[in-house]
Amino acid sequence: MKSNKTVLTIVAVAILALAIGQVQAVPINVPVPNGEFQMYKPGTNYTVTANFPDGGPFDNYAQGVGDNRNVAGNGIAEYGDGTTGSTVDIPGWIGIVKTADLGRDGVDDSVAFSAFGTWSGGTGTSAGSADSLGNIVSGSSYTVSSMVNGPAEPLLLELHAGGVALTPSSSVTPSSPTAGFQVISRTYDAGAIAGYAGEPITIVIGTFAEDGVYTGTRVAFDNVTLSYELLNQASSPIPANEATDVCRTVVLRWTPPEYAQQHKLYFGADFNDVNDSNDTVLYGPLSNPPEYDTTGFDLEYNTTYYWKVKEHNEPKDEWGEGEVWWVTVEPYSIQIPNTSIIATADSNETDQGPENTINLSGDLHSTDEYEMWLSP
């Protein structure tokens, strides 16, 4: 069942790309913690999985989200280590609106999980991502999507910025009742998120009562995903963002958007200067090809440097803001533990074996400890 939904998700991404049009952009997937609603054995720090015994989707379920949730139904959860129990951990999500579950004869706290590892809520219930999924990036287009199955509607799938529900630019909503799991998605173009740059992102799923009217009893969500596309922005930095052990004479390269012919590079050891596009760290505008040799900077060893590229959209005659990337320069020297050194010869004494180069018993060494270093 999981594999079928994964295939549908891939198809959905292709459909969304066609719906958006031929936009020269770079899709970036944002990890959604527990987007597939996996359950875990309590007390194992989400390392030992949990499932319910075989049965119908409503034969076994856990009420609520979070840690140590009681198992309803027959009260049994099967853990990945071969044991069983009556509670499960369901991380990554929090219950938002909890109402009497119309499909469970009025059982409260119906933000529930079915035996298939999906979020299954009664009409009028909702759940949201427990933590921020990052901050809104200016000049980007966002898409949140999921697989959905069930007769309850209207469906709720929202992207929130700073706790405020954003208005989507376009939507894909399956007809109800769904015939098995189908795609639901919301897309927010750069204009729809204007003014929310830097605000923390969360996702809300479920159903709601539109003007007090709703139909159906229950709906299930699974495979919740979030992605955004950089419009008029540099992408694919080389070295990769957050790279370490970078050469002091590194050449910075990146992929520009289609219509960019000029590039402004901001580079320096102060994050705020680069992030704020301070002219004291501005180098350019540069022409194609888009790269910059840092040899003349005389970079310091074991130091982190930040860089950002603004791209000029020639047809629109505007500069697109880029993300701040960073790299850490190689250390001056690297200690090599003597336990990792294999000696093959002792050039100091012809009557001694190579092992004395390591065990400090030969004439080559007179100290109690010996450390080898590699330096430039």
Task: Give residue 7's identity as a one-letter amino acid code.
Answer: V
State residue 338's pLDDT score: 61
**How many residues belong to the chain?**
376
In this prediction, residue 292 has a pLDDT band, given cuts at 50, 70 and 90, of confident
Can you give the pTM of this predicted structure?
A: 0.62
- Report residue 337: phi and psi, to 5°: -60, 135
Measure the CA–CA gap between 39 and 51, rounded to whole angstroms: 7
Tens digits of residue pLDDT in 324-361: 999 999 988 777 666 666 666 555 555 655 555 555 55
Residue 66: pLDDT band (50, 70, 90) is confident
How many C-beta atoms lie closer than 10 Å to residue 344's C-beta?
A: 6
Closest Cα to residue 87, out of 117, 145, 131, 42? 42
- Integer Cα distance of 111 and 205 in angstroms: 11
Q: What is the pLDDT of residues 176-198, one digit of tens each?
A: 788 889 999 999 988 888 889 88
The predicted structure's pLDDT at residue 339: 63
Indicate the residue type of 121.
G
Query: How many angstroms separate the Cα of 350 from the Cα of each of 146, 262, 344, 364?
Result: 72, 65, 13, 12
